[in-house]
Chains A and B, each alone.
Chain A
Amino acid sequence: MSTYIKLAWRNLWRNKKRTLIAAASVFFAVILALIMRSMQTGYYDYMIDASVRMYTGYIQIHGKDYWEKKSLEESMILDEKHLNKLKKIKGITLAVPRFETYSLISHGNKTKVAQITGINPQEENKLTDLKKKMIEGNFLDDSSKGIVIAQGLAEILKVGVGDSVVIYGQGYHGVTAAAQIPITGIVKFTLPDLNKAFTYLTLNYAQWLFSAPERLTSLSIMIDNPNELNRIESQLKNIFNEDYEVMDWEELSPELVQSIQVDNAQGIIMLGILYVVIAFGIFGTIMMMTAERVKEFGILISVGMKKWKLGLVTLYETLFVSFLGVFTGAIISIPILLYFKANPIPLTGEMADAILAWGFEPILPFAVYPGMFFAQIWTVLAIAMVSALYPILFIRKLKPVEALRG
């Protein structure tokens, strides 16, 4: 072991209590910061997951310009060649096709605008758990010629299972689409916007009705690990170039991104305050360790110790105090965070209502990413480095004669 490291390490323990207090302040702050980050990140992950399962998936593939124009003219045909390539991408768990359009829906003298979604019932169910939301009648199967409509819409139209509704709209290339369709099921959404507008047909039936055989408006992709999103997205972009657009959930749900950003900013401010506390703990200790050793420094420089070597010893001291706190804090945090990842905290109040409105369980799972730990370590390292400048600059200015006279 280098003598300078040995010297720094022993110097640290000249005042055990003070060193322990400084290290402990870092220790607790790091644990607190990690819990905060883990909770926030976990909440965002959960919200994102809830949101993508609501409808969009993590990634959607559209015909070029579809997202902007939302017109059937920008719908797409996915050939086998593309789909086979898609299947080879690692990490994709689902690829759910949809044919989505708007049309008039009426019963008796009541008419509304509805979203018509043509779905592959099994695949759709895997993504959005639609079957569970059925409150009346039957869910669609592949050969179904009926329509499933949202409960709020049914209420407005004053219809139930067994009644028929008339769909009247415009199909592909402006061809009129009109049909009378029996209601085979009612589905209930917790979000009012969906509950008042959504209807489902089978994919084939919708394509036939809107004169768009084989055509899709979107393919929603689910992945098993959100951290792989960027990789999968860029692989998809390679396959679906020119005639298509590939969008991730951030582009599909900008409101969600924004609300996360706002919340995250608050979290960062809290972290900032925490780090100021850490910084004072470290800096105060380092300042005291410097002030009480002026004579000693003077002697060491007098006998021929170069100033940078002495500065190095004080740098080690600073790093030791800081890392003592940050490493123990990070290590102790791991089991705590993993526990709450496995056993999410049940939510109440406003937060719970927000999640319930999305139709998901109000819980707060913690997220644990290595990056969170590195962020702590880097931040404390940066604080330590800045604090370490104090003794180094102090030593630089130190004149041995003055230091010796005290």
Chain B
Amino acid sequence: MSLIELNQVSKIYDETIVPIRAVDNVNLKIGKGEFTSIVGPSGSGKTTMLNLIGGLDQPTEGKIIVDGTDISTYKPDALINFRLHHIGFVFQAYNLIPVFTAKENVEFIMLLQNIPKSEREKRAVEFLEAVGLKDRINSTPAELSGGQQQRVAVARALASQPSFVLADEPTANLDSVSAESLLDLMEDLNHKHNMTFVFSTHDQRVIKRAHRIVTLQDGKIKKDEMNPAHAKSEA
């Protein structure tokens, strides 16, 4: 069974003069442990699709099944709870709570999940170590570089033990060195923890690191291919 399944999913914005089909009749299955990139030109529907998968938005048509649950009919409040326990998010920017340290930020989602203090601390340290920020545990976001901040966001997502991690253009604000090393990190975590990653990007260097590449155009899937360089990792 797939971890994520989109069945005839459309998202239509009709407040505009001509209704926009931001996601248009998409069928897609993503399995556990995949390392998938959603690519496509600007306005092709990448963000809209990730938002639908992540339960941040509701589809106009179709079914979205995540972790065996049909979330397409969930009300916004139920979705909040679903996101908390099933999905890890890494956004393009402003991921972290500015007044909290790296460790407090990583702990925060676990706190929302009612995980006891000792367990939170243990995991926070463990994952900050895993993203290479062991010595920056008590730094606030302002004291960290953009790349380091994104790593904290990745650590935060993973520490909450989600079913998969969604990242909408996680490298968009990073220089190429930081972008590369974030990708290294994600790939490494994908490998070690068998954590599923779905991320979107424009960036050619990032695209080539994906194991599976789903290309969108005008809200439709134009291409869905295995990256030959990593073909071995997919089932």
Contacts and interface: CB of A to CB of B under 8 A. Distances in A.
Given A303-B84, A304-B112, A306-B81, A7 B99 contact: yes
Of B87, B94, B95, the most chain A CB neighbours within 10 A belong to B94
Given A3-B111, A304-B85, 13 more contacts: A7-B99, A295-B94, A303-B89, A303-B109, A304-B84, A304-B109, A305-B112, A309-B112, A399-B76, A400-B56, A401-B56, A404-B56, A405-B47
20 contacts: A3-B108, A10-B99, A11-B99, A299-B89, A302-B54, A302-B56, A302-B83, A303-B84, A303-B109, A303-B156, A304-B81, A304-B83, A304-B84, A304-B87, A304-B112, A306-B77, A306-B81, A307-B80, A401-B57, A404-B91
A243 interface: no
A14 B100 CA distance: 11
B98 interface: yes
Which secondary structure characterizes the binding site on chain B?
helix
A303 B100 contact: no
A399 B79 CA distance: 12
Sort A-B residue pairs by CB-CB distance and give the 7 closest, nearest first. A304-B84, A10-B99, A304-B83, A401-B57, A295-B94, A400-B56, A401-B56
B231 interface: no
A26 interface: no
Contact of B98 (A14, A304, A309): A14
Contacts of B20: none
A254 to B, nearest CB: 59
Contacts of A14: 98-99
A301 interface: yes
B8 interface: no
B80 A301 contact: yes
B60 to A, nearest CB: 13
Contacts of B81: 304, 306
Contacts of A307: 77, 80
B25 interface: no
Contacts of B112: 303-306, 309
Interface in B63-117: 76-77, 80-81, 83-85, 87, 89, 91, 94-95, 97-100, 104, 107-109, 111-113
A304 B160 CA distance: 11
A318 B32 CA distance: 44
A113 to B, nearest CB: 81
A374 B83 CA distance: 44
B227 interface: no
A302 B98 contact: no
A299 B80 contact: no
Nearest to A13: B99
Interface in A293-324: 295-296, 299-307, 309
Contacts of B85: 304
A152 B100 CA distance: 81
A279 to B, nearest CB: 27
B70 to A, nearest CB: 19
B27 interface: no
Contact of B100 (A10, A304, A405): A10
Of B56, B104, B156, the most chain A CB neighbours within 10 A belong to B56
Contacts of B161: none
B57 A303 contact: no
